[in-house]
Amino acid sequence: MEITLKPIGKVVNAVEKSSEKVDWSQVVSILEVNPELEEGLEGIEEFNRIMVIFWFHLAEETCLKVHPRGDKSKPLRGVFSTRAPVRPNRIGVTVVELLRREGNRLVVKGLDAYNGTPILDIKPYFPEGEGDERPPWVKGG
Amino acid sequence: MEITLKPIGKVVNAVEKSSEKVDWSQVVSILEVNPELEEGLEGIEEFNRIMVIFWFHLAEETCLKVHPRGDKSKPLRGVFSTRAPVRPNRIGVTVVELLRREGNRLVVKGLDAYNGTPILDIKPYFPEGEGDERPPWVKGG
């Protein structure tokens, strides 16, 4: 069984793979969603945090065992118990702060993805016990 | 640009699409990971909660606007501001409780996916400010 996906957009920011010592928590990125999908973003601006699902397009290999965070002083672990990009399906998931929406563009903070990264999906983030972040139409449900 | 994925395993549980009034929070599922990928699970059992990325294989259409939770009394919203399955890329992401690992099988609680759902990825879940859930090799990083 094979599953085929098409990106819904791409990440635009100032971070390239060659960039050094990046503090991802401070990186501001634009999620540029394909214009024909803009309608699908309606209501997203009511959330403070969203979940970005993206494709690690620069990962070159697949490994079942990795050193956590690339630190070779740490013992090898199964890749599914880490967030390393070298996974069988190179899907990344990160919760980010949504600063604002400008039409088909979402300005977010804290996304750990390089410039040009394909975006696969965007979802609202509902942390348990943090009901205040949910807009009224969600709370009621 | 197209991206091709192969499932890493599938969900086994007692819930079919025809099942009624399912309380997903109480559903126990087995994540049956393909045997050749079992090595990639090493260390996952040290986490209480994991993130399951799966494919909504039973979704039949794609919509950019949906009624939240299928409730037609609620106004239409953009699909990216909901968790509805009818999204452009039918990816689901749910944080579940990891009860135990049995080789290539993970027994989890709270996965809102039907029996037979293809699994795309499994990741550890690191909620912010809940450091106690991280095993020592993560804390140190």
| Res A137: pLDDT | 52
Calpha distance A20→A9 (Å, rounded)? 25
pLDDT of B138: 52
Question: Does the pLDDT at position A130 exceed 50?
Answer: no
Q: H or E segment at B137? A: helix B136-139
Please state the φ and ψ torsions of residue A41, each to the nearest 5 degrees. -90, -10
Q: How far apart are the C-alpha atoms of A115 and A29, rounded to whole Å?
A: 8
A54: amino acid identity, one letter: F
B15 in a structural domain: no
- Burial label for A117, CB within 10 Å (0-12, 13-18, 19+), is buried
Residue type, position A61, single letter: E
Backbone angle region of A29, left / alpha / beta, with phi > 0 → left and psi within -120 to 50 → alpha: beta
pLDDT value of residue B139? 43
Between A139 and A78, the more confident residue is A78
pLDDT recorded at residue B71: 86
Alpha-carbon dihedral sign for residues A71, A51, B53, B62: negative
Q: Which residues of chain B have pLDDT under 70?
A: 128-141
Q: What is the pTM of this model?
A: 0.90
pLDDT-based confidence at residue A1 (cuts at 50, 70, 90): confident
Q: What is the pLDDT of residues A69-83, one digit of tens each?
A: 788 998 999 999 999
CB B55 within 8 A of CB B40: no
pLDDT at A105: 98
Q: Do A5 and B6 touch (CB under 8 A)?
A: no
Residue A115 has a CB neighbour count (10 Å cut-off) of: 15
Task: Examine residue A131 and state whether it is found in any structural domain, yes or no.
Answer: no
Specify the residue for token string 């630190």. A71
**Closest residue in A to B1 (Cα–Cα):** A6
Q: For residue range B53-65, what is the model confidence (pLDDT) as tens digits?
A: 999 999 888 999 9
CA angle B21, B127, B141 (to 5 degrees): 145
Predicted pLDDT of residue A44: 97
Closest CA to B9 of B125, B124, B120: B120
Residue A131: the pLDDT is 44
Distance from CA of A24 to the nearest CA of B (A): 15
* Confidence category of residue A132, pLDDT binned at 50, 70, 90: very low
**Residue A102 identity (one-letter amino acid):** E
User: Is A120's pLDDT higher than 90?
Assistant: yes
Domain with residue B44: its CATH number is 2.40.30.70
A117: DSSP letter:
P
For chain A, what is the domain count? 1
Residue B1 within a domain: no
**β-bridge pairing B118-124 and A3-5:** unpaired
pLDDT at A102 > cutoff 90: yes
The alpha-carbon gap from B54 to the nearest alpha carbon of chain A, in Å, equals 11
Strand partners, A35: none
Q: Do B3 and A5 touch (CB under 8 A)?
A: yes
- Give me the mean pLDDT over the A93-109 stretch: 97
Count other C-beta atoms under 10 Å from residue B39's C-beta: 15
The predicted structure's pLDDT at residue A61: 86
Residues in chain B with CB shorter than 8 Å from the CB of A51 are 93
Residue B13: inside a domain, yes or no? Answer: no
Residue A135 in any domain: the answer is no
Q: Is residue B8 part of a domain?
A: no
When the pLDDT of each residue in chain A is averaged and rounded to a whole number, the result is 90
CB contact under 8 A, B39 and A4: no
Interchain pair A42, B81: CB under 8 A: yes
Quickly count: other Cβ atoms within 10 Å of residue B6's Cβ: 12
Assigned domain for A56 exists: yes
pLDDT at residue A135, rounded to an integer: 54
pLDDT at A140 over 80: no
Q: Please tell me the predicted confidence (pLDDT) of residue A71.
A: 86
Residues 6+ apart with CB under 8 A from B76: B65, B66, B67
pLDDT at res. B33: 98
**Residue B112 domain flag:** yes
Strands A9-12 and A65-66: unpaired
pLDDT at A133 over 50: no
Q: For A77, which of B43, B64, B71 is closest by C-beta distance?
A: B43
Q: Tell me which residue range forms the domain holding B103.
A: 26-126
Residue A119 banded pLDDT, cuts 50, 70, 90: very high
